[in-house]
Amino acid sequence: MKKEVKILLGVGLLVIAGGLIGANYYRKSVQSVPVAATVNEALVRPDSPSLGPADAKVTVVEFLDPECETCASFSPVVKSLMKEFDGKVRFVVRYAAFHKNAKPAAIHTEAAGEQGKYWEMQEKLFAKQGEWGEVHGAAHQPSAVTPPAVSFEKYAQELGLNMDQFKASVSDPKHAAKVDRDMKDLQTMGVKSTPTFFVNGRKLARLNQQDLRALINEELKK
């Protein structure tokens, strides 16, 4: 082989190798790290309500709408699984305020949380959904006779909350901002319906107890 040909082949190999190294560096430094960080941040925020150990091997994230009838009916399943996997799973709530009264419901739940009654308020809102929510059918007829905010305050009183503190907290714009942030995050995560679950970042394909349990078990075995 002529010397000139060998030189050209050598230069060509160096160019190809350099291109591969450069492309790999680009993917690692520009694409992979920022995208992964963005998705992780959009899935779990530091102030998101949670149950279970912060260092649990498995994190289950639910994007829920307080006014969603399916979210209310599926809530006992979540509680059952949390009891079944006690100490092994962390459960995180994110808001998907798709319905009319969902945002104020979330705000009032957050306000109750400042007095240590977050989960109790969430449970009441689900249990009493027919009093303050709307019937989500073809006609979208409201089922609530009493304004939702009046119902929320009644539930707060039933929980024994300091009402002056509760009302002041409800008026604090930080809770509304939190719901708005979650609404932006759900777009990043591609959430279009409620409830939507992620298990260690893996989206639950079908909404049923068996599939959610199976996905949790898969992640625990890793």
The predicted pLDDT at position 6 comes to 47
Amino acid at 186: L
55 and 79 belong to one structural domain: yes
58 and 36 belong to one structural domain: no
61 and 13 belong to one structural domain: no
- Rounded CA-CA distance 125/219 in Å is 31
The predicted pLDDT at position 138 comes to 42
79 and 124 belong to one structural domain: yes
The predicted pLDDT at position 11 comes to 41
Range of the domain at 161: 50-221
70 and 37 belong to one structural domain: no
CATH of the domain at 59: 3.40.30.10
117 and 13 belong to one structural domain: no
pLDDT tens for the chain, residues 1 to 222: 555 544 444 444 444 444 443 434 323 322 222 334 556 889 999 999 999 999 999 999 999 999 999 999 999 999 999 999 999 999 999 999 999 999 999 999 999 999 999 999 999 999 999 999 987 654 445 555 679 999 999 999 999 999 999 999 999 999 999 999 999 999 999 999 999 999 999 999 999 999 999 999 999 999
3 and 60 belong to one structural domain: no
The predicted pLDDT at position 38 comes to 55
Residue 210 and residue 120 in contact, taking contact as beta carbons nearer than 8 Å: no
Residues whose CB is less than 8 angstroms from the CB of residue 120 and which lie 6 or more positions away in sequence, other chains included = 112, 159
The predicted pLDDT at position 20 comes to 41
The predicted pLDDT at position 124 comes to 98
28 and 102 belong to one structural domain: no
b (16+ CB within 10 A) / e for 173-199: eebbebbeebbebbeebebeebbbbbb
19 and 114 belong to one structural domain: no
Whole-structure pTM value: 0.80
The predicted pLDDT at position 41 comes to 84
Number of domains in the chain: 2
Q: How far is CA 195 from CA 13, 69, 112, 132, 204, in A?
A: 53, 10, 22, 19, 10
133 and 168 belong to one structural domain: yes
32 and 58 belong to one structural domain: no
The predicted pLDDT at position 1 comes to 52
103 and 135 belong to one structural domain: yes
